[in-house]
Structure 1
């Protein structure tokens, strides 16, 4: 069992406080469009006070998906902020939050490790990593009893995203799982609002067009400090496998909206691939 690490810091410490925030954020999130065919999404992972209202757009889209009742497994893919662990680290543990226990789809998790010698069972990468834990309370509040796969990407080169996407889709087909893939990422960090926004809107153009090669090249050429470009790439590639044709930005915000400091912001976006 992985016990919660970031309740009381990134999100509220106790169940009732967490549920109160989530319900408030979902009430404020106004989504438009049909998400019945979407299988892959992106949500930010900063402290709820900063990014939770943008994350709520992703979760409201997931909750409105007519095929949600048929989903067996939710694959969470996040970046490794600590530098600990292997390039692609899979957890075999169940994860607890103040809202209860998120059960691991252990059969799926083990199949991913068996798929390639470059995908590892490694709990150390997950122990002090926040990018997946902060997503779970939203999911637990909204989607009911589902199984989870927890993936931490230490190496976000495009080849690793391609490998992971193939492993996830192949395993889902082999095991007969209906899945949702959720990539966890914030966008540009600690630049002026105008600079960060310009960089991230250029990245958004590639995501809208499902151009993962252009997206990865632009991350480097723009020196954009987006922390989860690898997870986003993997989710985009999974969505392409399932026939998605476009990316749709559901919401954009940044930390300056809360702190009022627009000289050093962190950008947040919610996405669905349709």
Structure 2
């Protein structure tokens, strides 16, 4: 386990407020409410354990994200694990935020520091570190939605620098161990497609869903690396 002591007890300030989403609390709350009001998700049978949500600017993908987050309204979770890729810094494995909170224009989002430490100890590839967290938008943009739809929100923010089968399976086992006996939600921040072809976008979604539904972890990891 690596420990990068950059104010371990600190608060991660907003990095992309005013760019990816409104920086004003009032404007942000209004935009989120409009997106949630407009979202008409299909009902989900059973308990929701995870969401895959996009991380572009709200003006581009906010409505898609709202379809997922609206399904959480009225639900309660002990902890939300928020996982995002690193766009700013390269490192191998996962960087578990070591501070006490993230902050958005809507206020403080407390980190479950006990569970954060447990994840870092349970995985060979996870470290308590600020790497990947300093300017990363992919994790930050999920938090205002979570603040809108959940009460008593506590998170474990994790930025992943590299994806391969070995890392993903090791992290999966760590999450299963740490989350056991808790009402846990996993939010995976991901843009499945960047491009201009609607047909290619739909095809990417369908291929990804097939691998997820068939529990094809190896195939999903290979697809992340190759795009196939």
TM-score, structure 2 length as denominator? 0.88
Out of 68, 75, 79, the position equivalent to 2:81 is 75
Per-residue CA distance 1:54-73 (angstroms, 9 max, x = gap): 00011011225xxx23x210
Given that 1:132 and 1:184 are in contact with CA atoms closer than 8 Å, whether structure 2 keeps it comes out as yes
90 and 188 in structure 1: CA distance in 2 versus 1, 3 angstrom threshold? same
- In structure 2, do the counterparts of structure 1 residues 105 and 35 end up closer, same or farther at CA, with 3 Å as the change threshold? farther
Q: Deviations over 1:131-181 (max 9, x none)?
A: 1100000101110112110111101112211111111110122xx432111
Q: Is the 8 A contact 1:29 1:56 kept in 2?
A: yes
- The residue aligned with 1:269 is none
Deviating above 4 A after TM superposition, structure 1's stretches of 4 or more consecutive aligned residues are none
The answer (yes or no) to whether the contact 2:91–2:162 under 8 Å persists in 1 is: no
Q: 1:186 aligns with which of 186, 191, 195?
A: 191
Contact kept in structure 1, 2:50 and 2:187, CA below 8 Å: yes
Match of 2:206 in 1: 201
Judge conservation of contact 2:85–2:189 (CA < 8 Å) in 1: yes
Q: Which stretch of the first structure deviates more once superposed, 14-23 or 200-209? A: 200-209
Instruction: Tell me the distance in 2 between the aligned counterparts of 1:39 and 1:195.
Output: 28
Report the count of equivalent residues. Answer: 217
1:216-258: CA deviation from partner (whole Å, max 9, x where unpaired): 334445x35xxxxxxxxxxxxxxxxxxxxxxxxxxxxxxxxxx
Residues 203 and 219 in structure 1, CA contact (< 8 A), matched pair in contact too: no
